[in-house]
Structure 1
Amino acid sequence: MNKQRNGWATVPSLLMLAVIASITAGMANVSWTNVRSAQAIIAIAKAQSAAESGLSFGGIRLLDEVNRYVIDRGVIDSDLAQKLWEGTWTPIDGFITVLPADDYVVAAPSGTGIVHSLQDVFEQVDAHWFEAEAEDALLPAIDPVSFALEVKPIALDSTEDSFFRLTYTLIENDTRILVTSVGVADGVSRKLSMEFDLDKRIDYALVAMSRVMLGRNVIVEGPIGTRYGISGGELDANFGTPFVMRSDFYGLDPGTLDGTVSAFAALVLANDVDGDNRLRPSHPTEGIGLGGALQDYDGNQYISEMDLFLSRFDSNGDIAVVYDPAQALYAGHPGMSQEFSGDMQLAMLIDNARSDRNGDGVTDSLDRELGWDDGIIDGKDHYAKIDGSIGFAVSIADWEAATGQQWQADVAGSIVSDFGSSSAQFALPDDKLAELSTSMFANAQTWFESESMTGTAFGNPASGQVGSNIASGGTYTPRS
């Protein structure tokens, strides 16, 4: 008798179905988790980007407003900083003028302080803010106690999905302004802040009302500016050019190097498009005519007179020129032979320029590892005749019309400006290149005299400035 087993396949089928369903649910859960993780990462990145954008925008806006405040005092201390911030200065604080803005007019200023100028431009001029929350309708607002300014949210695009919030605060008993940016995207926020020092400074290492002339063996660390040439009769073809700069390398080797430098100078006059007295081999215009002795010897993507010098005196092909083997040995480079001795003053000038190579505020062995004072001239010295830009009140057209030649004909040597800054600027307005007078520095003179009388004494090896410098690793040689 045959027995039928009805439904025997149902049980394993159900078991298999349960397993498949479980796996499917697990995969769906993992996939959903991955999606949410990806969304969170994207939101974090967007919030971080919004915060960075806000910090950049906030810093630029602060700089624009602060630059409108003109003071005659040479030093800004915490007391004056607070008065400038809150608009509470009095005649005893010196001559203070608030210049009008260049591109907007505030109908009803809320006050005279820097914080009020910031509030006014955000409230009455800007139109790209929005209200993300109901409380934002009360912004921008200045805290009545701390005088901190909080402004409305600013969207990065028309969707208003990503935005940033800015807060400006003058740090108590200090001259620094704290700018805080909170970036928000998809419910995620990121906070960044930066401190800006409220200071008065001249943006130039050298600024003059007269002609500026730089000869051989001169390096300037910082921008140069002159207002010469804007008064009638100043410009002249022979003795009236605003700026004259001579090559540091022409004359070292009349037999070979001088000819190469002259050929390079001719190409600079013909092809240099940005006024830095350097040529880029990869540039469609600046690269014309380069080759042979005119090559990027140190590999920094530019050809300058330094490349010609290195190529001429580098005898062993290590892209460096040794001028002091003993100093090279002290710096950790043994077995070097002298390759250049034609102008030791120039060699030491290049090797010792920009002593704080790593920018930590201290000149020490770490800077020597980066090429400072190592007895060797090479790419690590980052040679520039002017380590900064040059600026003129006169225009190129007026300069060249009066002299009958290109302005660079009298300007030899590389000009290396900061990133994003033009090497040469012309027709600068008064707010960029102001006229200087001795009266502007009267209060600063009094301040420095007071500081010199109350500062730390010169001392001896056991005390004062001498003792402090010795403790920091310096040496002291008494006057004989």
Structure 2
Amino acid sequence: MVKPSSRLTRLFRLRRWMFTTRRGVVSVVSMMFLILFGSLAAAMAIMSKGNIITAATHQHVVRAQGAAETGLAIAEQRLFEAVGRFVVEKGTVDSGFGRRLWDGTTSGSDGQVSVLPPVSYPSVSSGASGIKEAVGQIHARDTNTVDVGIGVTSVTIAANSAADPDVYANADWVRTPGVALHNEIDPTRPTGTAFQIDYALLKNGTSIRIIATGYDFGYQTRGQPITRRIMQDYQLAKRVNAAVLSPSRIMIGKNVMVEGELGATFTDVDKQHGDPLVMKSDFFGLEAGLDAELTKLFNALSTYDANKDNRLRIGHPIEGANLPDYSNLGYPGTQCDVTEDGYLDEFDVFIMYYDGRNGGARDGRVVLGGALAAGTPANGMTAEFVLSGGAPVDDQLALLIDSSNPDRNKNGVYSFTDANFNGRYDPGEVLHDMEQVTASEVPANLQSYIVTMGGDTYVYRDQVLGFRDGFIDKRDQYAKVRGRLVFRTTESAWIAGQGNYMNRLVGPIAPKPSQSPISFNAATSTLPDLTAASFTNSETALKAAATGDGKTFEEQVAQNLGVSVTQLATWTPAMNSSDPSAAKYNPLLPDADNDGLPDNWQTAHFEKMPFNAPTYTDWYYRPVYENMTFRNVRVPAGNNGLFKNCTFVGVTYVRSESGNSHINWTIYGKLKLGSGGRPVLDPPRYVYTGTSFPSMLASNDRPVLMATTPLDKADIPDNQIPYTQGYNNLPDPLIINGLRCIDTKKLSNNIRFHSCLFVGSIVSDAPQRYTHARNKMQFTGATRFTNKHPQQPGDPLLNPNSGDMPEILKSSMMLPNYSVDIGQFNSPPTQDVQLRGAVIAGVLDIRGNASIDGALLLTFRPQLGEIPLRDAMGNPVGNPSLFNASLGYFGPEDGDDESLDPRTLPVVNGVRIVGWDLDGDGLPDLPPDQTPSAAQIAAGAVTVPFHGYGAISLRFDPNMALPDGIMLPMQIDAKRGTYREASK
């Protein structure tokens, strides 16, 4: 037998050793992995349990946070309701007034403060003296209250000694008990979620802080629930929320743009012309070809416009799938959205139609021409907004759109140097929002926007964004109304009364992203009931500023003429200077011969009322004041003057009798055109020469002028009463200060201001009733409003007192329950009325060129059976729908009986005319549908052309301060940046 070699033996032993020792290593490694996985399993179990606990805790934190958010939302709603109960006269809420409203300690120096009954619960007998009490009354009705451990078991109104005096006012807090968010078996031991609210007035006296604490009693630590606390500050405010707020119908015509909400509280939708709002297209009627293209859009809107904003959404499954085909204009499919805003509307169709006309480039914009392009980046380019012969289509509309929204970059700077003192920006004038640039770095498409001044190059920031650049394009961001349409009526009532209303609401409506275009059945908290009763006759700050600088109206007239008041009494027109710029005065003499007319009626100036209207209400003899300057003047009742080219500095206060509720107020003193071509009394009066005087007249009330057709009981002698049928139906005579009044023109003021300059504001007394034939203001010609004299800004005599400016800036016009006409039918192109702040009237008509930065607040609510919709016998008469607030031109078919629709005017020699001028004064003496005789033409009769629609811009200013004297409910606004989680 052969023995293995030693080498093989060693190898065998080595292998055996290796295999025997490897079994121990495996055991060790196995134990290591066992320990590792066991540890991991334990750790994972621990972490899972922790996560579960953390998740559960977080869930309770979220529940507490949700309870706090719920409390804040409820608190905000209740604070809004409580604050809205306080209707105040004072316009500005300062620290002292805010504190007194909170405490309920207002006094007579704060003006009138009325407290309305609560809305969400039955009125309590004690009422509420202040906001804190009104808030407490709402919370006192909570029933599901629980004990949250703060020691408050019922609503508590008391001082908080722990409040930081650097943050909070030294005033009472309102603290509520906890309110459970679900039913609790034991209110002293809650188990679910709850919230508790504190209300505190801040140190500034005008802000209220809501502190809402949320609780979750389902999880407690050391016997305490999980809590989260949040807070939000709210500013007390008195304001309106709409660009127009009107109880009568609102009519928005062609060439009118509105930025802000339209609020209509008119509800007589069952009457003829009973639409609360009518809107006209700015583009329909420009050309027949454009009308055809717009009709395609209108047809699509009538079927597919789901949200009634008069726009088709490009990506919408219904609206976007039914876009009209505009490939014939070079814009197929969705390219019809030329403005790239996601909608197809009239503005897109307008641009598509004129883009490329006259050989211009098809570049998605319309180039203006002539004077509108001069001095702009479009200067020298081919004009596209022109007719086939090259004449402009509508320069007034083009200027309206190109000049809209002057602060396009929203930085608050949009002023300019008014070199020609016309109150509006003209190309070539300097815009103040500018940026210095290096010309070589400006993109090629903006090179024409560069301006050079002093050797440096600039661009106007707003012009780069499309303001007055000579182009109509997407940067102009056109909308007929940029805001909501808000109605008091319901949609069903409107449809029942008028049928489909959308064909009378024409033009794009662009609300805020979070709002619907149209809102119905609006509550008074959204649309307050603004009426004549909302205005007080107190001596407000504006009225108080009309001191006349120590001079009466007559003294100021005499001063302008350079004579004494005594000499003024015997002034005649022959005494006027022949200098065209000199002050002139044509007086109106009193009625000394008792014929009911001024004694110089045969030579005095007279005119229709309204002035130059196709349909008029009355005639007026007027004194005429020309080229005069008045300062802080009080115009006495019964003036009824015509002011031509006059300047009114400071506050102009127009006086009138406020107690104008007599049924015959608009009839006493009424005139008609007599056979001699001059107005005469209607009906005529005679001096009673008998002895059976009406017994209701004082013995010293002589002579007695009786109407040939009796208007009241004093027109019947006592001995004729038994024989007068219907005597008892006659009203009692109007007695003022113990004497009978037969001419209410002497107690009212119906004034026309022609081409006047107002450096300040105009205010009036507040008549109780709307009597438009008596209390009326007409602003015609090139009348302007400003707060600084355009040519003499540094002259103290031609500018308001600095101390009056804060009040003047609140309102250019405060004429409650007056009928106000800005412009006239066929307003001249030179008209340029500029108003700011709260513009207040009973009913307002604006025609021609006008701009308003603020809001229109109208007071007259026409009601059948109330004056003036009631006859002398007390019977209801007339139609409430015929009283309307109109911006732009309308006609009788729209419910405006005082005007004519320009679209219906006849065309003579290629021009629409408003009538025929027979006497050379530029005003129509014959209506447009009547042809003058051969003799009249031979004598010089000429046509009076229609001067165009003008341009009206209304921009709502949400930050405007209101003047004193308007009774409006208080509001609150959440202050940005004040929401936070914090301790008290």
TM-score, normalised via structure 2 length: 0.39
Q: Which has the higher helix share?
A: 1
Query: Which letter maps to 1:198?
Result: L
Residue in structure 2 matched with residue 236 of structure 1 by the alignment = 272
| Separation of aligned partners in 1, 2:208 and 2:493 | 42
Q: Which runs of 5+ in 2 are unaligned?
A: 1-19, 160-169, 185-190, 220-224, 327-332, 387-392, 415-432, 436-460, 547-649, 652-759, 761-786, 795-801, 803-984
Deviates more, 1:83-92 or 1:38-47: 38-47
User: Can you list the C-alpha shifts for 1:327-356, whole angstroms capped at 9, x where unaligned?
Assistant: 9869xxxx9987656545434433543445
The answer as to whether partners of 1:393 and 1:433 remain within 8 angstroms in 2 is: no
| 1:72 to 2:89 alignment | yes
| Separation of aligned partners in 1, 2:194 and 2:313 | 40
The answer as to whether partners of 2:179 and 2:196 remain within 8 angstroms in 1 is: yes
Deviates more, 1:201-210 or 1:376-385: 376-385
Residue in structure 2 matched with residue 276 of structure 1 by the alignment = 309
Residue in structure 1 matched with residue 129 of structure 2 by the alignment = 112
Residue in structure 2 matched with residue 350 of structure 1 by the alignment = 401
Query: Which letter maps to 2:202?
Result: I
| Separation of aligned partners in 2, 1:444 and 1:417 | 39
User: Can you list the C-alpha shifts for 1:289-342, whole angstroms capped at 9, x where unaligned?
Assistant: 533139661454443212322333455776555658899869xxxx99876565
| Separation of aligned partners in 1, 2:365 and 2:145 | 56
How much does 1:166 deviate?
Answer: 2.8
| Separation of aligned partners in 2, 1:103 and 1:354 | 41
- Is the alpha carbon distance of 1:207 and 1:20 closer, same or farther for their aligned partners in structure 2, counting shifts above 3 Å? closer
1:255-270 equivalences in 2 (<5 Å): 255=289, 257-270=290-303
Per the alignment, in what secondary structure is the counterpart of residue 137 of structure 2?
A: helix
Residue in structure 2 matched with residue 471 of structure 1 by the alignment = none
Deviates more, 1:265-274 or 1:282-291: 282-291
CA RMSD after TM alignment: 4.7
The answer as to whether partners of 1:72 and 1:443 remain within 8 angstroms in 2 is: no
Residue in structure 2 matched with residue 470 of structure 1 by the alignment = none
| Separation of aligned partners in 2, 1:246 and 1:226 | 17
Deviates more, 1:24-33 or 1:208-217: 24-33
Residue in structure 2 matched with residue 306 of structure 1 by the alignment = 347
- Is the alpha carbon distance of 1:193 and 1:338 closer, same or farther for their aligned partners in structure 2, counting shifts above 3 Å? farther
| 1:434 to 2:529 alignment | yes
How much does 1:247 deviate?
Answer: 0.9
Deviates more, 1:336-345 or 1:411-420: 336-345
- Is the alpha carbon distance of 1:405 and 1:27 closer, same or farther for their aligned partners in structure 2, counting shifts above 3 Å? closer
Residue in structure 2 matched with residue 251 of structure 1 by the alignment = 285
The answer as to whether partners of 1:328 and 1:336 remain within 8 angstroms in 2 is: no
| Separation of aligned partners in 1, 2:65 and 2:374 | 51
| Separation of aligned partners in 1, 2:105 and 2:124 | 21
| 1:409 to 2:426 alignment | no
How much does 1:147 deviate?
Answer: 1.7
The answer as to whether partners of 2:409 and 2:465 remain within 8 angstroms in 1 is: no
How much does 1:277 deviate?
Answer: 2.6
How much does 1:413 deviate?
Answer: 1.0
Query: Which letter maps to 1:216?
Result: K
Q: Which has the higher strand share?
A: 2
The answer as to whether partners of 2:269 and 2:275 remain within 8 angstroms in 1 is: no
Residue in structure 2 matched with residue 141 of structure 1 by the alignment = 156
1:2-151 equivalences in 2 (<5 Å): 14-31=31-48, 48-105=65-122, 111-124=128-141, 126-131=142-147, 133-135=148-150, 137-144=152-159, 146-151=171-176
The answer as to whether partners of 1:351 and 1:371 remain within 8 angstroms in 2 is: no
Query: Which letter maps to 2:278?
Result: V
| 1:386 to 2:481 alignment | yes
1:194-209 equivalences in 2 (<5 Å): 194-209=232-247
How much does 1:414 deviate?
Answer: 1.9
The answer as to whether partners of 1:269 and 1:406 remain within 8 angstroms in 2 is: no
The answer as to whether partners of 2:144 and 2:183 remain within 8 angstroms in 1 is: no
Query: Which letter maps to 2:400?
Result: L
Query: Which letter maps to 2:511?
Result: S
| 1:179 to 2:179 alignment | no
Per the alignment, in what secondary structure is the counterpart of residue 353 of structure 2?
A: helix
| Separation of aligned partners in 1, 2:517 and 2:75 | 26
- Is the alpha carbon distance of 1:26 and 1:214 closer, same or farther for their aligned partners in structure 2, counting shifts above 3 Å? same
| Separation of aligned partners in 1, 2:181 and 2:462 | 45
Query: Which letter maps to 1:412?
Result: V
User: Can you list the C-alpha shifts for 1:22-63, whole angstroms capped at 9, x where unaligned?
Assistant: 444444455556556656666665555554444333222211
- Is the alpha carbon distance of 1:445 and 1:213 closer, same or farther for their aligned partners in structure 2, counting shifts above 3 Å? farther
| Separation of aligned partners in 2, 1:411 and 1:29 | 68
Residue in structure 2 matched with residue 468 of structure 1 by the alignment = none
Per the alignment, in what secondary structure is the counterpart of residue 134 of structure 1?
A: coil
- Is the alpha carbon distance of 1:108 and 1:270 closer, same or farther for their aligned partners in structure 2, counting shifts above 3 Å? same
- Is the alpha carbon distance of 1:120 and 1:356 closer, same or farther for their aligned partners in structure 2, counting shifts above 3 Å? farther
Deviates more, 1:135-144 or 1:371-380: 371-380
Equivalent in 134, 152, 169 of residue 177 of structure 2: 152
The answer as to whether partners of 1:249 and 1:305 remain within 8 angstroms in 2 is: yes
The answer as to whether partners of 1:351 and 1:381 remain within 8 angstroms in 2 is: yes
Query: Which letter maps to 2:296?
Result: A
The answer as to whether partners of 1:167 and 1:180 remain within 8 angstroms in 2 is: yes
| Separation of aligned partners in 2, 1:153 and 1:61 | 16
User: Can you list the C-alpha shifts for 1:333-382, whole angstroms capped at 9, x where unaligned?
Assistant: xx998765654543443354344556565555797499452735555544
- Is the alpha carbon distance of 1:247 and 1:213 closer, same or farther for their aligned partners in structure 2, counting shifts above 3 Å? same
How much does 1:262 deviate?
Answer: 2.4
Residue in structure 1 matched with residue 200 of structure 2 by the alignment = 169
Equivalent in 512, 518, 533 of residue 424 of structure 1: 518
How much does 1:246 deviate?
Answer: 1.5
Residue in structure 1 matched with residue 704 of structure 2 by the alignment = none
- Is the alpha carbon distance of 1:51 and 1:114 closer, same or farther for their aligned partners in structure 2, counting shifts above 3 Å? same
Deviates more, 1:195-204 or 1:35-44: 35-44
| Separation of aligned partners in 1, 2:312 and 2:539 | 42
| Alignment coverage as a number of residue pairs | 448
| Separation of aligned partners in 2, 1:227 and 1:13 | 87
- Is the alpha carbon distance of 1:278 and 1:19 closer, same or farther for their aligned partners in structure 2, counting shifts above 3 Å? closer
Residue in structure 1 matched with residue 8 of structure 2 by the alignment = none
| Separation of aligned partners in 2, 1:207 and 1:162 | 43
User: Can you list the C-alpha shifts for 1:224-265, whole angstroms capped at 9, x where unaligned?
Assistant: 234456399xx434xx6543321112234432x221222323
Q: Report sequence identity in percent.
A: 29
User: Can you list the C-alpha shifts for 1:370-406, whole angstroms capped at 9, x where unaligned?
Assistant: 945273555554432112223445565666666x653
| Separation of aligned partners in 2, 1:59 and 1:345 | 46
- Is the alpha carbon distance of 1:399 and 1:158 closer, same or farther for their aligned partners in structure 2, counting shifts above 3 Å? closer
TM-score, normalised via structure 1 length: 0.73
The answer as to whether partners of 1:211 and 1:241 remain within 8 angstroms in 2 is: yes
The answer as to whether partners of 1:73 and 1:444 remain within 8 angstroms in 2 is: no
- Is the alpha carbon distance of 1:430 and 1:30 closer, same or farther for their aligned partners in structure 2, counting shifts above 3 Å? closer
Query: Which letter maps to 1:259?
Result: A
